[in-house]
Structure 1
Amino acid sequence: MLRSFLRNLLGGPIAVQLRRYVIVGSTTAGVQMLLLWLFVDAGDVNYLLGATVAIEITIVMTYVLNNAWTFASMRNTGWTDYLTGLLKTNVVRGTAIPIQLAVLYALVDWQGIQYLLANAVAILVSGVYRYFFDVKWTWGRT
């Protein structure tokens, strides 16, 4: 699955879409990391709580960008379709939150890795899951 993902990133029928998804994901991951840092270091919030809030904030941002750019050819238009897509991506990404938080917790508490580095790894791990279900369900086609 990973090999196919990487191959499709470079060429193939969904290469442009996949590259755009990675660019949007990288951008919003950067925002998520900044928010997490602000919550934990500036706000003195527990890193797991901070990560949960940062994830939810970036879910909305990710949907807006992906709908407008990544999946432009199949974008959700009109209020009903747009809000239905936002709800679907929240379900997809909401079900990925436990995956991301579990990886984050395991790396920080069990392996002693710094929380921001651990969060970056957790984002990557849950990213493949999110892509597959967003393509298949949120936008309903490949």
Structure 2
Amino acid sequence: MTTALLARAVDRPLAVRLRRFVLVGTVAAGLQMLLLSAFVEVGEVNYLLAATVAIEITILVQYVLNNAYTFGDRSNDGRHEFLRGLLTTNLVRGSAIPIQLGVLFALVEWVGLLYLLANGVAIVVSGLYRYVLDARFTWGG
């Protein structure tokens, strides 16, 4: 009985969508960490500026992946819908940039964490916020 209940909960559309969102987010987080490290270590860019650019690049990548995979059943098809969704996700996810940068700054400057570790924490902290807003506004759910 408990196994059947758990199986039904895991197979619900919201659970499937959340797993897909987390998978896309994990790929994007890896890309963001790689970009951040390259900008700081190779480009010698300040970690906050580097994080801002890396975040924006991953916003674009995540939109394409989430539109096709996570929200494929209600994807933004057609040029007009795709561009509207891209603008919307930039506004939605862009509103999370101050949260992520604030957490990053606080953990690096006040706690003394390494910037990559602090960025990983900041990604997780702002992740739920981004999911809720994207699901509601970008893909209208």
* Same fold flag (TM > 0.5): yes
Q: TM-score, normalised by structure 2?
A: 0.92
Superposed CA offset, 1:84-113 (max 9, x none): 000000001100000000000000000000
State the identity as a percent.
62
Alpha-carbon spacing, 1:37–1:90, altered in 2? closer, same or farther (3 Å): same
The residue number in structure 2 matching 1:114 is 114
Whether 1:76 and 2:67 are equivalent positions in the alignment is no
- Secondary structure of the structure 1 residue equivalent to 2:44: coil
The residue number in structure 2 matching 1:66 is 66
- Secondary structure of the structure 2 residue equivalent to 1:113: coil
**Inter-partner Cα distance in structure 2 for 1:83 and 1:12:** 29
Tell me how many residue pairs correspond in the alignment. 133
**Inter-partner Cα distance in structure 2 for 1:46 and 1:60:** 22
Question: Structure 2, unaligned stretches of length 5 or more?
Answer: 1-8
Deviates more, 1:63-72 or 1:9-18: 9-18
Q: CA deviation at 1:11?
A: 5.2
The residue number in structure 2 matching 1:3 is none
- Equivalences for 1:1-142 in 2 at 5 Å? 10=10, 12-141=12-141
**Inter-partner Cα distance in structure 1 for 2:24 and 2:114:** 25
Question: Structure 1, unaligned stretches of length 5 or more?
Answer: 1-8
Q: Which has the larger radius of gyration?
A: 2
